[in-house]
Structure 1
Amino acid sequence: MRARLALPVALIAAVSVAATACSSSSGSDGAGGAKKDAPRAASAAVDYNPQPYENIKDGGTYTTAGTFDDQGNPFNVNATLTAARVWGWYNADAITYSPTGEVQYNPDYYSEVKVDVEGGNQKVTLTINPKAAFNDGTPIDWKAIEATWKANNGSDKEFAASSTDGYDKITSVAKGENAKQAVITFKGVNASWSTLFTTFLHPEAATVANFNKAYVKKAHPEWGAGPYTVGKWDTHSGNITFVRNPKWWGKKGKLDKRVYVNLESTAAVNAFKNGQLDYTSAVDAESLKQVKGLKGTEIRSGGSPFEYSLYFNTKSASLADKAVRKAVQQSVDRAQIAKIQFQGLDYEEPLPGSAVLYSFQKGYEDNLSSVLKYAPDEAKKTLDAAGWKPGSDGVRAKDGKKLEIGYTLLGDDPLDKAIAGAFVAMLKPVGVKLVIRKADEADFSKILSDRRFDIFLAGNRSMDPFGARYLCDFFCSDRDSNLTGAGSPALDKEIRATTGIADLDEQVAAVNRAEKKALQDYAFLPLFSGPSTYSVKKGLANVGATIFFSPLPETIGWQK
Structure 2
Amino acid sequence: MRARLALPVALIAAVTVTATACRSATGTDSAAPGANNSPTAASSVADYNPVPYDRIKDGGSYTTVGTFDDQGNPFHVNSTLTASRVWAWYNAVAITYSPTGEVQYNPDYFSEVKVSVSGGDQKVVLTINPKAVFNDGTPIDWTAVKATWQANNGSDKSFSASSTDGYSQITSVVEGADAKQAVITFKGVNASWSALFTTFLHPKAATVQNFNDAYVKKAHPEWGTGPYTVGTWDAHSGNITFVRNPRWWGKKGKLDKRVYVNLESAAAVNAFKNGQLDYVSVGDAESLKQIKGLKGTEIRSGGSPFEYSLYFNTRSTVLADPAVRKAIEESIDRAQIAKIQFQGLDYTEPLPGSAILYSFQKNYRDNVSAVLKYAPDEARKALDAAGWKPGSDGIRAKDGKKLEVGYTLLGDDALGKATAGAFAAMLKTVGVRLDIKKADESEFSSILSDRKFDLFLSGNRSMDPFGARYLCDFYCSDRDSNLTGAGSPALDKEIRSVAQVADLTAQAKKANEVERRALQQYAFLPLFSGPSTYGVKKGLANVGATIFHNPLPETVGWQK
Q: Same fold (TM over 0.5)?
A: yes
**What secondary structure is seen at the aligned counterpart in 1 of 2:5?**
strand
Task: Render the CA deviation track for 1:96-146: whole Å, top value 9, x for unaligned.
Answer: 000000000001001100001111000000000000000000000000000
Aligned to 1:115: 115
* In structure 2, C-alpha distance between the alignment counterparts of 1:558 and 1:292, rounded to whole Å: 21
2:528 paired with 1:535:
no
Quick one: percent identity of the two aligned structures? 80
- Which structure carries more relative contact order (alpha carbon 8 Å, separation 6+)? 1
Distance 1:38 1:430, change over 3 A: farther
Query: Which aligned pairs between 1:16-415 and structure 2 lie closer than 5 A?
Result: 39-415=39-415
Aligned to 2:32: none
Aligned 8 A contact 1:227 1:253 in 2:
yes
Aligned to 1:19: none
The CA RMSD measured in Å over matched residues stands at 0.9
Shift of 1:392: 2.1
**What secondary structure is seen at the aligned counterpart in 2 of 1:10?**
strand
**What secondary structure is seen at the aligned counterpart in 2 of 1:162?**
coil
Shift of 1:400: 2.1
* In structure 1, C-alpha distance between the alignment counterparts of 2:451 and 2:341, rounded to whole Å: 26
Shift of 1:12: 1.2
* In structure 1, C-alpha distance between the alignment counterparts of 2:428 and 2:224, rounded to whole Å: 52
* In structure 2, C-alpha distance between the alignment counterparts of 1:132 and 1:500, rounded to whole Å: 34
* In structure 2, C-alpha distance between the alignment counterparts of 1:172 and 1:374, rounded to whole Å: 48
* In structure 1, C-alpha distance between the alignment counterparts of 2:175 and 2:386, rounded to whole Å: 59
Query: Which aligned pairs between 1:428-447 and structure 2 lie closer than 5 A?
Result: 428-447=428-447
Q: Flag as ranges the 4+ runs of structure 1 deviating above 4 A.
A: none
Shift of 1:38: 8.7
Shift of 1:11: 1.0
Task: Render the CA deviation track for 1:20-79: whole Å, top value 9, x for unaligned.
Answer: xxxxxxxxxxxxxxxxx9920001001100000000000000000001000000000001
Shift of 1:362: 0.8
* In structure 2, C-alpha distance between the alignment counterparts of 1:10 and 1:116, rounded to whole Å: 29
Q: TM-score, normalised by structure 2?
A: 0.94
Aligned 8 A contact 1:165 1:469 in 2:
yes
Aligned to 1:456: 456
Aligned to 1:10: 3
Aligned 8 A contact 1:38 1:350 in 2:
no
* In structure 1, C-alpha distance between the alignment counterparts of 2:183 and 2:303, rounded to whole Å: 37
* In structure 1, C-alpha distance between the alignment counterparts of 2:147 and 2:46, rounded to whole Å: 36
Aligned 8 A contact 1:38 1:349 in 2:
no
**What secondary structure is seen at the aligned counterpart in 2 of 1:521?**
coil
Aligned 8 A contact 1:282 1:535 in 2:
yes
**What secondary structure is seen at the aligned counterpart in 2 of 1:548?**
coil
**What secondary structure is seen at the aligned counterpart in 2 of 1:289?**
helix
Aligned to 1:29: none
Shift of 1:393: 2.0
* In structure 2, C-alpha distance between the alignment counterparts of 1:299 and 1:422, rounded to whole Å: 29
* In structure 2, C-alpha distance between the alignment counterparts of 1:381 and 1:518, rounded to whole Å: 23
Q: Which runs of 5+ in 1 are unaligned?
A: 1-6, 14-36
Aligned to 2:423: 423
**What secondary structure is seen at the aligned counterpart in 2 of 1:276?**
coil
Q: Which runs of 5+ in 2 are unaligned?
A: 7-36
Residue correspondences, number: 530
Q: TM-score, normalised by structure 1?
A: 0.94
Aligned to 1:501: 501
Distance 1:38 1:464, change over 3 A: closer
* In structure 2, C-alpha distance between the alignment counterparts of 1:104 and 1:485, rounded to whole Å: 36
Task: Render the CA deviation track for 1:474-507: whole Å, top value 9, x for unaligned.
Answer: 0000000000000010110001000010011100
* In structure 1, C-alpha distance between the alignment counterparts of 2:343 and 2:52, rounded to whole Å: 37
